[in-house]
RNA sequence: GGCGACGUGGCCGAGUGGUUUAGGCAGGGGCCUGCAAAGCCCCGUACCCGGGUUCGAAUCCCGGCGUCGCCUCCA
């Protein structure tokens, strides 16, 4: 069984499931007001890998991840560009899924949109007000965090410290700086939903509680997201559920930062790199490889160099796939119980992954196996290679990493040159064949000699 | 100010109280090749500094230095 770090306890401990054999997980998704950035790419990859590992282990997984389609930033953007909030959200949600596809991230089983759950949020806020766990001010409804058992659990810091550091804001109607908005009363021109406590819109922390409990039920197994969501977002989600006496997530997982040039990538620093831009320039698999190469809780450095490094690593994987004509399965892989693969390799792989997702070691294993497979092929040990090759591809696929053995489209002119080179080589006219090779390489082709003659790829 | 993480060979990046190595990239040598490419084999002998614990520490403890982060919108 998977041992996974739990942010609530600060320890690596077993992921204890509510229902045997079934995993329910909720991962906080994006607010769609701009193009996805590298941080989005990392958290989706990390939790995609976790999801795939649970599936590979033979578990049935329900994966829910939301789209926040109403929020201050969406409103600001819509106002600035003179269009509707829903148009802004639709545009950037489309960009989101496009990026997810390029990263080979599996679609969530449930994709709740905040605007579809406002009624449920209103009901929850009304209940909190009824039970005097929340209070109304002139600009909204706030949760009274002093009544929440164990508030500060996820922050991992004393409440005094949190209070001392809390942002100073003009709102002196709040009873504590830690109290947060459940509902924001409408200002002129803003989108508005009806509510008995004043028309307006939900606060950010409210949607995920309502949607996760609605879709996955009380005491669902795992709640995840980027490290920055730990506090205050996840703390505040939990606070609402706990205040109402509902069992919330049993286990919390958070992934580490994306660093750019040694600094955390963040809004305030303005050093954002859009995922869309990266994917336009680089193989989406390279970013996955980069993410897998570090432990999910460690920071990763994304630069042109580290991406290029990953792309060269990918070439080694693809080279084996081409050599054996192997292709990756389309959907998620179930390793558990697959006796066509090398059993020792699968056991080692699962053991690494079960130990708090040690993807760096799992990936190291895959690369070791690539070497072993090539050796077997070099030694004409077809039996061994025919087990190891598919094992390599299956383990890579279990982490969501596909192989690319595709033959590049070659235009007729280039094909003719390759043919001419083969003729020259047959006639031992090496001056001519090398001349053609130089020409092909200058055009961007990698030229390899095979028993079938000149082979070309990009 | 209050918390916390990290510092590994040219680069990225794991790991661990003591046998034999993470892995990748780059580099060197060899095999293969007409020459290459791809592939295979071999190679560097690393663990911020100073103390301490120990038979033995890069791994544990203390101190220092450095980097980064959280306490505020953020994945």
Buried b (16+ CB within 10 A) or exposed e, A152-166: bbbbeeeeeebeeee
Provide block-wise average pLDDT over 10 residues at a time, chain A (458 residues). Answer: 87 91 96 92 95 96 96 92 95 96 97 96 96 93 91 81 62 82 90 94 93 96 92 92 93 89 55 81 92 90 86 93 93 94 93 91 94 94 95 96 88 93 94 94 90 88
- Of A247, A231, A27, A250, nearest in space to A145 by CA: A231
Rounded, the Å distance between the CA of A380 and C1' of B39 is 13
Q: Which residues pair with A31 in a beta bridge?
A: A68
Scanning every strand, the nucleotide with its C1' closest to A446's CA turns out to be: B37
Architecture per CATH, domain A3-260, reads as 3-Layer(aba) Sandwich (3.40)
**Model pLDDT, residue A184:** 92
> Is domain A282-398 classified as CATH 1.20.120.640?
yes
B39 closest protein residue (CA to C1') = A374
Nucleotides of B strand lying within 7 Å of any protein CB atom: 1-3, 11-15, 22-26, 33-41, 67-75
The alpha carbon torsion through A144, A232, A112, A140 (nearest 10 deg) reads 40
Rounded, the Å distance between the CA of A43 and C1' of B74 is 13
B26 closest protein residue (CA to C1') = A309
Scanning every strand, the nucleotide with its C1' closest to A430's CA turns out to be: B34
Rounded, the Å distance between the CA of A344 and C1' of B37 is 33
Rounded, the Å distance between the CA of A340 and C1' of B26 is 36
**Model pLDDT, residue A266:** 54
Scanning every strand, the nucleotide with its C1' closest to A34's CA turns out to be: B74
Residues 6+ apart with CB under 8 A from A82: none
CB A134 within 8 A of CB A173: no
Scanning every strand, the nucleotide with its C1' closest to A37's CA turns out to be: B75
Scanning every strand, the nucleotide with its C1' closest to A257's CA turns out to be: B75
CA distance A140 to A183: 5
- Of A167, A315, A141, nearest in space to A231 by CA: A167
- Of A317, A275, A302, A240, nearest in space to A105 by CA: A275
The kind and range of the H/E element at A361 are helix A359-378
Q: Whole-model pTM?
A: 0.94
Rounded, the Å distance between the CA of A229 and C1' of B70 is 11
Rounded, the Å distance between the CA of A263 and C1' of B11 is 18
Scanning every strand, the nucleotide with its C1' closest to A366's CA turns out to be: B23
**Model pLDDT, residue A265:** 60
Scanning every strand, the nucleotide with its C1' closest to A371's CA turns out to be: B40
**Model pLDDT, residue A271:** 53
Rounded, the Å distance between the CA of A403 and C1' of B10 is 29
**Model pLDDT, residue A164:** 67
**Model pLDDT, residue A269:** 46
Scanning every strand, the nucleotide with its C1' closest to A266's CA turns out to be: B74
Q: Angle at CA A329, nearest 5°, toward A383 and A279?
A: 125
Rounded, the Å distance between the CA of A295 and C1' of B58 is 20
B67 closest protein residue (CA to C1') = A262
Rounded, the Å distance between the CA of A182 and C1' of B23 is 48
**Model pLDDT, residue A222:** 95
- Cβ neighbours around A180 below 10 Å, total: 21
Rounded, the Å distance between the CA of A64 and C1' of B72 is 28
């Amino acid at each position: 069984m998977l041992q996974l770090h739990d942010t609530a306890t600060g320890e690596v401990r077993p992921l204890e499931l509510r229902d045997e054999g079934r995993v329910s997980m909720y991962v906080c998704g994006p607010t769609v007001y701009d193009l996805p950035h590298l941080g989005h790419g990392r958290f989706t990859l990390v939790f995609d890998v976790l999801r795939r590992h649970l599936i590979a282990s033979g578990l049935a997984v329900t994966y829910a991840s939301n789209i926040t389609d109403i929020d201050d930033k969406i409103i600001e953007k819509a106002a600035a560009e003179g269009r509707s909030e829903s148009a802004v959200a639709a545009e950037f949600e489309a960009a989101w899924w496009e990026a997810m596809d390029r990263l080979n991230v599996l679609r969530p089983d449930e994709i709740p949109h905040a605007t579809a759950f406002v009624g449920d949020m209103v009901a929850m806020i009304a209940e909190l007000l009824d039970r005097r766990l929340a209070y109304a001010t002139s600009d909204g409804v706030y949760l009274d965090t002093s009544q929440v058992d164990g508030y500060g659990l996820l922050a991992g810091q004393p409440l005094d410290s949190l209070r001392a550091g809390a942002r100073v804001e003009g709102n002196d109607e709040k009873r504590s700086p830690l109290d947060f908005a459940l509902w924001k009363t409408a200002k002129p021109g803003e989108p508005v939903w009806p509510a008995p406590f004043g028309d307006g819109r939900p606060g950010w922390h409210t949607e995920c509680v309502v949607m996760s409990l609605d879709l996955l039920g009380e005491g669902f197994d795992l709640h995840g997201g980027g490290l920055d969501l730990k506090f205050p977002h996840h703390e505040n989600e939990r606070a609402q559920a706990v205040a109402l006496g509902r069992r919330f997530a049993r286990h919390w997982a958070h992934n580490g930062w994306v660093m750019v040039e040694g600094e955390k990538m963040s809004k305030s620093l303005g050093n954002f790199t859009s995922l869309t831009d990266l994917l336009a320039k680089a193989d989406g698999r390279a970013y996955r490889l980069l993410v897998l190469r570090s432990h999910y809780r460690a920071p990763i450095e994304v630069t042109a160099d580290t991406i290029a490094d990953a792309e060269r690593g990918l070439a080694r994987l693809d080279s084996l796939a081409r050599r054996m004509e192997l292709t990756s399965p389309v959907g998620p892989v179930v390793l558990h119980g697959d006796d066509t693969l090398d059993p020792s390799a699968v056991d080692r792989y699962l053991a690494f992954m079960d130990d708090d997702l040690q993807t760096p070691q799992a990936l190291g294993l895959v690369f070791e196996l690539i070497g072993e497979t090539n050796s077997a092929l070099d030694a004409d040990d077809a039996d061994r290679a025919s087990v190891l090759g598919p094992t390599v591809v299956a383990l890579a696929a279990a982490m969501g990493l596909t192989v690319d053995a595709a033959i590049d489209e070659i235009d007729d002119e280039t094909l003719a040159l390759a043919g001419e080179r083969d003729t020259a080589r047959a006639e031992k006219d090496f001056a001519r064949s090398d001349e053609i090779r130089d020409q092909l390489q200058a055009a961007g082709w990698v030229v390899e000699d095979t028993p079938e003659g000149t082979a070309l790829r990009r």
